[in-house]
Amino acid sequence: MITPRSADIHAAWLPSEAFRAIGSRRVLVSGPGTGVETVLREVGQACAQHGGSVRRHSPPLVAERSSEGADSASYDLVLALATDRALPVETAARADLRRHQGEGTDTLGEEGFALVRHGDVTIVLADQPAGLLYGLFHVVRLGESAFGPAHPIEVHRPAMRLRIANHWDNIDVHPVMGQVERGYAGGSLFWRDGALRHDLTRVGDYARLLAACGINAITVNNVNVHVTEAHLLTTRLGDVAAIADLVRPYGIRVHLSVNFASPVTLGGMPTADPLEEDVRAWWTETTRRVYETIPDFGGYVVKADSEGQPGPFAYGRSHADGANLLAEALAPFGGVVHWRAFVYNHRQDWRDRSTDRARAAYDHFAPLDGQFRDNVILQVKHGPMDFQTREPVSPVIAAMPGTRLAVEFQATQEYTGQQRHVCYLGPWWSELLHFAPWGVGRDTVADVAAHGSASGAVSAGPGGGLVVVSNVGDDPFWTGHPLAQANLYAFGRLAWSPELDPVAVLDEWIDLTFVPSATTDPDLLRRTLHEVMDDSWQTYERYTAPLGVGFMVRPGHHYGPDVDGYEYTPWGTYHFADRDGVGVDRTRGSGTGFTGQYPSPWSDRYESPRDCPDELLLFFHHVPYGHLLQSGSTVIQHIYDTHFAGAEQVVQTRRRWERVAGLVDPAVHARVTERLDEQVRSAQEWRDQVNTYFFRKSGVPDAHGRRIH
Amino acid sequence: MITPRSADIHAAWLPSEAFRAIGSRRVLVSGPGTGVETVLREVGQACAQHGGSVRRHSPPLVAERSSEGADSASYDLVLALATDRALPVETAARADLRRHQGEGTDTLGEEGFALVRHGDVTIVLADQPAGLLYGLFHVVRLGESAFGPAHPIEVHRPAMRLRIANHWDNIDVHPVMGQVERGYAGGSLFWRDGALRHDLTRVGDYARLLAACGINAITVNNVNVHVTEAHLLTTRLGDVAAIADLVRPYGIRVHLSVNFASPVTLGGMPTADPLEEDVRAWWTETTRRVYETIPDFGGYVVKADSEGQPGPFAYGRSHADGANLLAEALAPFGGVVHWRAFVYNHRQDWRDRSTDRARAAYDHFAPLDGQFRDNVILQVKHGPMDFQTREPVSPVIAAMPGTRLAVEFQATQEYTGQQRHVCYLGPWWSELLHFAPWGVGRDTVADVAAHGSASGAVSAGPGGGLVVVSNVGDDPFWTGHPLAQANLYAFGRLAWSPELDPVAVLDEWIDLTFVPSATTDPDLLRRTLHEVMDDSWQTYERYTAPLGVGFMVRPGHHYGPDVDGYEYTPWGTYHFADRDGVGVDRTRGSGTGFTGQYPSPWSDRYESPRDCPDELLLFFHHVPYGHLLQSGSTVIQHIYDTHFAGAEQVVQTRRRWERVAGLVDPAVHARVTERLDEQVRSAQEWRDQVNTYFFRKSGVPDAHGRRIH
């Protein structure tokens, strides 16, 4: 059954109203066995709410077959899973599809679907149950337009096979990091105070939301695997199975973050050395038990030798040795290991300007290319640092043609306002996915994630997909800031289809989430939400760390400005501002040589302070405050201008939000208003601290004479 | 009985060896009733360990009287409490004393004592039991020299009536501040995980240590009084009584930190308004019950309207109204209220240069002078900020002739190395106590604390005494860093006798604590400890925040350098460094006007950047980096020189400590060595961060070409 939602929990992008077009029609769901049950339930609930009707056609029933023709004609929507006894209307639709696509391309695959308008009937075709479910949610998105007379044939297959949400959730409340590490939306959906939550209703609801945006896997625990959480692999495996049971109906598999030292900590063995036979046997047997309990288990995620987590270095082994150990255990069952490339020295000496954290992932992993088993996926953060508001694409993505790579994004807004600031990340992710490491016209980051890449030429192999760190918790609005829901939604949509325009994706989200409830002026609401959200990431960038230099946040919690906060720490995150200039020299010519990790043309563009894109200038170069940007402004004046502008834009946003007070759920409006108040305050604090800091250092007055403290 | 000490607990300044001179002799303790029992037990234990003998003479026993003369002759040491039936030797000693002092001055008072050598006998005379106990510990300090033939007559009376150690201990472990707020010596001696400790043995041991250095009162809970701790006043009063029973034998009274809102939170009343009759009645009745349970209870300590604690401001009442409310309730029982003057705006705007936290205590309290009841003691931190390594004396101390003032020091090393750095604070406190607010030759800070002062002329009234925030916890060495014990010892000694030379006090402490166990080369040990400790406060000052500007510590935990850490915060603690200069303009001429809070001559000396003492220059003035100090150095070169020198001195300290490896308890040596390693690291971090910060800002190279990063 469809789990009931509490009235206090926000429906996100699946409010009842979004199902009106479907639920008010006559629907036939066709397909054998249990595969279509989720679709049937979704449609059934929609019809119960909106007055339509649903019938199931289960092909093996001969009695049904005799009345097929008549039946078809009396439906508005047919959702048909491929079978050898297709309905006539389905057969006709498949013929339409073949004509549309040409012969030989009519396999829709495990998750694909087609939408065909045949006569007065809209038909969703799929080869597999997951495809039918995605087709259903596509019709939800289309609403009435799915039933227009001239609707063109659509075929959809996901670009990425794996579209995963990682949860950094702890079972035990961590004394420093809390229940959810870097979580800004309350507690965990899964865990509470040391145990699986008693009421898991929202896990089912969450699975619906994920399926409706296209995400097909989750991890249920933090990549920093502490003692209690390590036991999910063994004694607490039943908890994982319980979650898997709840998300499976929505085509979602569960993966698990595991601790590399598990053979020692859980198995009582003297070593976790990946080349030890006993260690391999332990992982083999442990993994076999996992699949015995959860046959569709997805695989493991590992953060090894990073920020204190154990790993193969302790035994003098490589990360390929470590990853292959787990991959070998998973292979017989079709599981994968996501091995994180986030390995760097977090006890760096700030005095040492030659060590460069940006170099670390490439230096560690590029030499290992070709050594990983084919069910190892190297999970690479999109940038070389750590989810900053602006950083270049990680050079690792272009450096490992013989390795499956997944690219990791962060929906939880650790460095982008912590769900107290509006920051729609779709445009940032889209820009990253479209980045072409080997130059325009060649493969993009999305291509590499989708199907691997050898030096820019599209390869046919399987890619590693996209990963997002979830921004969801047990908050009534799921994401703390109601508008932050759009980030999770956009991730799913971009992972399915990276070429989508992020503003169009936002429009989808607005139409699903808000418009159905805005009875008086939906256009004003839509326009306002676009004004508030479309450029919000760039607005955030304007009032925070300038020109790609990054960080400048308060150490520890990472919220709010602290220009020198990380300047003298061991974390490798510096800006080197002095009275003359600012920025990190990462050139080959005079700096850390990081630019050399990129292929041409970027290795040269980044190397040159003239050619380097303005927005990344201080990431790659240390320049004088008077350095002239391509924009025509000096660095120092750019800092002043963007910070005044960014803070002012937030004030405008706050004002715009007032206009829609009567158009959205009052609880949503109040929550957003409260967050905007904080954003206004915080943006002004950023503006004043950053401007004051650089004015005190540079002594250069603002060209427009504005107040700097 | 004397509580047994665990072998694992360090004896501090009362090791068994320190009692050899007494314990190996024939001792007579004379005095009526239970008053002398503690002395008797101490001597008895010493004799049991060192082969001497003790006898008690209890005057009312007629049988004893007949053999008095003979008895006296057979003792080496007589500890005699005044009685109307004195022993002959005691009578003779009193006569010696009168001759020595002149007639009419022979009252020793509640805590005073005299030491007289008469013939072959050393006699300690006291009027009250506490005096006899202090006399005993004085003989412990003197050791063999107390029995030398020509020992001069000594008379000792404490300069301060109240010599209090405040414990910032919580009953519940506070989620941020822990069991002991700003504690660096493990847990609390009193509380553990939400309750009174089961084993309170160490509380008795602690009381001995306090009495042996002269402290006569303690508070047992944090001045930030949280919910559980508030109940010590009522439902948990039994816990306080239990502690009082353990410390009473050592002449120590217990005081309690109370929450001003107690009538609301504990009494269930609608208000805590100090002018409400019901509120007064509640405090009267509650206080009556306290004295019913603990007849010698000392009084209350209150932190009101400060850093989030409730206070009279909520009801539109003054701090005099608030303090007098509690004083009135305490007066019938002889209790006092310590009302803290640490009131300031901790939500300041860093952009606002006119608000000055340094002004706050004076601005709040000086206008109230004369309005406090005479059992109110205004407890004033020694400086206007917050226990920095260097700050001027608080102007409040010279501003309230009609108010009893206690001066608060901090032994727990919140800002002075957190008991990981050696920092002997005796010289700093001594300097503060000798400071003459009205100019040389007039009253000092010590005078004000001892007996009040009207504009510099000694008054005969009772002063408020000295308070120290304790540095003690359940650490085996009591204070984390074994050498930090000296700070508590020195506080007690200086509170008793502010004119003592802090280096001589350190020598006392060394002789008691270390020398008895150094069988091979006590001179090397003593010399080394002096080299390590004598100048350690100034060494610490050299490598931390320069020229009195303060802070520059990591926000939150306050350890380690963070030059800009507090620069853009609401705490009112700024240095305003820019590319041209640094410091806070607190002059009347162009700054916050803080200098005007001092009487002449300091109001003028501080006002002038030429006359202001170098070490406080940046506290009072914003000056260019090239400003010439009285020392002849520029500000910037002074910063470089002191930071290089300070860090180098720590390296030398570390080396010197090696020399005494065989001369002290190996556990002590190991603990100090481990802390020195950290101090070396931390001092270099301070050096490099501060130097780099100011080099990057000023652009001025080091005159000696040393490495700045």
Q: What is the pLDDT of residues A404-425, one digit of tens each?
A: 999 999 999 999 999 999 999 9
Predicted local confidence at residue B460, as pLDDT: 57
3-state helix, strand, coil in chain B (%, to 5): 40, 15, 45
Question: What b/e sequence results for A448-481 when a residue is b if at least 16 CB atoms lie within 10 Å of its CB, and e otherwise?
Answer: bbbbbbeebeebeebbbbbbbbbbbbbbebbbbb
- Which pLDDT band holds residue B297 (cuts at 50, 70, 90)? very high
- Which pLDDT band holds residue A6 (cuts at 50, 70, 90)? low
B10, amino acid identity: H
Predicted local confidence at residue B58, as pLDDT: 76
Question: Which residue is closest to B688 within chain A, CA to CA?
Answer: A351
pLDDT higher than threshold 60 for residue A158: yes
Lowest mean pLDDT among B401-415, B460-474, B475-489: B460-474
**Phi/psi of residue A340, each to 5°?**
-75, 140
Q: Show which residues on chain A lie within 8 Å of chain B, measured between beta carbons.
A: 350-351, 556, 561-564, 568, 577-580, 685, 688-689, 692-693, 695-699, 709
CA dist A609 → A573, A624, A643 (Å): 20, 11, 22
The percent of residues above 70 in pLDDT, for chain B, comes to 95
| A579: nearest CB among B563, B688, B699 | B699
Asked if B579 lies within 8 A of A577 by C-beta distance, the reply is no
3-class SS at B466? strand
Question: Which residue is closest to B700 within chain A, CA to CA?
Answer: A579
Interface size between A and B, measured as CB pairs under 8 A: 53
Q: How far is A698 from chain B (nearest CA, A)?
A: 7
- Which pLDDT band holds residue A66 (cuts at 50, 70, 90)? very low
Asked if A562 lies within 8 A of B561 by C-beta distance, the reply is no
Asked whether the beta carbons of A221 and A169 are under 8 A apart, the reply is yes
pLDDT higher than threshold 50 for residue A4: no
| A688: nearest CB among B351, B692, B697 | B351
CB atoms within 10 A of CB B652: 12
Predicted local confidence at residue A358, as pLDDT: 97
Q: Enumerate the active-site residues of A.
A: 307, 386, 414
| A579: nearest CB among B562, B564, B579 | B579
Q: Can you read off the two tokens belonging to residue B579?
A: 């590319």
A192, amino acid identity: R
Predicted local confidence at residue A339, as pLDDT: 97
pTM: 0.92
Question: Which residue is closest to B684 within chain A, CA to CA?
Answer: A351
Instruction: Give yes or no: B386 in active site.
Output: yes
- Which pLDDT band holds residue B197 (cuts at 50, 70, 90)? very high
A chain contacts of residue B708, beta-carbon cutoff 8 Å: none
Q: Are strands B53-57 and B26-30 parallel, antiparallel or unpaired?
A: parallel
R_g (Cα) of chain B, nearest Å = 26
| A699: nearest CB among B579, B695, B709 | B579
Q: Is B201 exposed, middle or buried (0-12, 13-18, 19+ CB in 10 A)?
A: middle
Question: Which residue is closest to A700 within chain B, CA to CA?
Answer: B579
Read off the pLDDT of residues B219-278 as tens digits, 9 standing for 90 and up. Answer: 999 999 999 999 999 999 999 999 999 999 999 999 999 999 999 999 999 999 999 999
Nearest to B619 by CA among B541, B703, B683, B697: B541
Task: Specify which residues A161 forms β-bridges with.
Answer: none
Q: How far is A394 from chain B (nearest CA, A)?
A: 29
B chain contacts of residue A688, beta-carbon cutoff 8 Å: 351, 568
B chain contacts of residue A699, beta-carbon cutoff 8 Å: 578-580
pLDDT higher than threshold 90 for residue A502: yes
- Which pLDDT band holds residue A519 (cuts at 50, 70, 90)? confident
Q: How far is B172 from chain A (nearest CA, A)?
A: 16
Q: How far is B356 from chain A (nearest CA, A)?
A: 16
Asked if A350 lies within 8 A of B579 by C-beta distance, the reply is no
| A579: nearest CB among B351, B562, B696 | B696
User: Best interface-test mutation with B: which of A179, A355, A553, A564 has the largest number of B CBs within 10 A?
Assistant: A564
Read off the pLDDT of residues B152-172 as tens digits, 9 standing for 90 and up. Answer: 999 999 999 999 999 999 999
The percent of residues above 90 in pLDDT, for chain B, comes to 88
**Between residues A488 and B1, the one the model is more confident about:** A488
Nearest to B518 by CA among B531, B503, B528: B528
Question: Which residue is closest to A352 within chain B, CA to CA?
Answer: B709
Q: Which of B193, B307, B374, B674 is catalytic?
A: B307
pLDDT higher than threshold 60 for residue A451: yes
Q: What's the start-to-end Cα distance of chain B, in Å?
A: 60
Q: How far is A458 from chain B (nearest CA, A)?
A: 46
B549, amino acid identity: V
Asked if A696 lies within 8 A of B578 by C-beta distance, the reply is yes
| A697: nearest CB among B350, B579, B688 | B579
Question: Following DSSP, what letter does each residue of B337-353 receive, concatenated?
Answer: EEEE-----SS--TT-S
Read off the pLDDT of residues A573-593 as tens digits, 9 standing for 90 and up. Answer: 999 999 999 999 999 999 999
Q: Show which residues on chain B lie within 8 Å of chain A, measured between beta carbons.
A: 350-351, 556, 561-564, 568, 577-580, 685, 688-689, 692-693, 695-699, 709
**Phi/psi of residue A652, each to 5°?**
-65, -45
Asked if B697 lies within 8 A of A699 by C-beta distance, the reply is no
Read off the pLDDT of residues A188-198 as tens digits, 9 standing for 90 and up. Answer: 999 999 999 99
Q: How far is B677 from chain A (nearest CA, A)?
A: 18
Asked if B696 lies within 8 A of A561 by C-beta distance, the reply is no
- Which pLDDT band holds residue A1 (cuts at 50, 70, 90)? very low
Mean pLDDT of chain B: 94
Read off the pLDDT of residues A101-136 as tens digits, 9 standing for 90 and up. Answer: 876 566 899 999 999 999 999 999 999 999 999 999
Q: What's the start-to-end Cα distance of chain A, in Å?
A: 60
Read off the pLDDT of residues B101-127 as tens digits, 9 standing for 90 and up. Answer: 876 566 899 999 999 999 999 999 999
Asked if A577 lies within 8 A of B351 by C-beta distance, the reply is no
pLDDT higher than threshold 50 for residue B4: no
Asked if A350 lies within 8 A of B697 by C-beta distance, the reply is no
Asked if A579 lies within 8 A of B698 by C-beta distance, the reply is yes
Read off the pLDDT of residues B358-416 as tens digits, 9 standing for 90 and up. Answer: 999 999 999 999 999 999 999 999 999 999 999 999 999 999 999 999 999 999 999 99
Asked whether the beta carbons of B417 and B540 are under 8 A apart, the reply is yes
Predicted local confidence at residue B101, as pLDDT: 83
B chain contacts of residue A692, beta-carbon cutoff 8 Å: 351, 568
Predicted local confidence at residue A64, as pLDDT: 46
How many angstroms separate the CA atoms of B40 and B104, rounded?
A: 30
- Which pLDDT band holds residue B462 (cuts at 50, 70, 90)? confident
| B568: nearest CB among A350, A689, A699 | A689
Asked if A564 lies within 8 A of B568 by C-beta distance, the reply is no
ipTM of the complex: 0.88
| B697: nearest CB among A350, A579, A692 | A579
Read off the pLDDT of residues B488-522 as tens digits, 9 standing for 90 and up. Answer: 999 999 999 999 999 999 999 999 999 767 678 89
pLDDT higher than threshold 80 for residue A65: no
Read off the pLDDT of residues A198-248 as tens digits, 9 standing for 90 and up. Answer: 999 999 999 999 999 999 999 999 999 999 999 999 999 999 999 999 999
Predicted local confidence at residue B107, as pLDDT: 86
Asked if A696 lies within 8 A of B577 by C-beta distance, the reply is yes
Instruction: Give yes or no: B276 in active site.
Output: no
Asked if A709 lies within 8 A of B578 by C-beta distance, the reply is no
Asked if A697 lies within 8 A of B698 by C-beta distance, the reply is no
**Which residues neighbour B307 within 8 Å (Cβ) at sequence distance 6 or greater?**
B224, B342, B346
Question: Which residue is closest to B353 within chain A, CA to CA?
Answer: A709
The percent of residues above 90 in pLDDT, for chain A, comes to 88
Predicted local confidence at residue A62, as pLDDT: 45
How many angstroms separate the CA atoms of A21 and A223, rounded?
A: 41
B chain contacts of residue A695, beta-carbon cutoff 8 Å: 578
Predicted local confidence at residue B11, as pLDDT: 96
Asked if A351 lies within 8 A of B709 by C-beta distance, the reply is yes
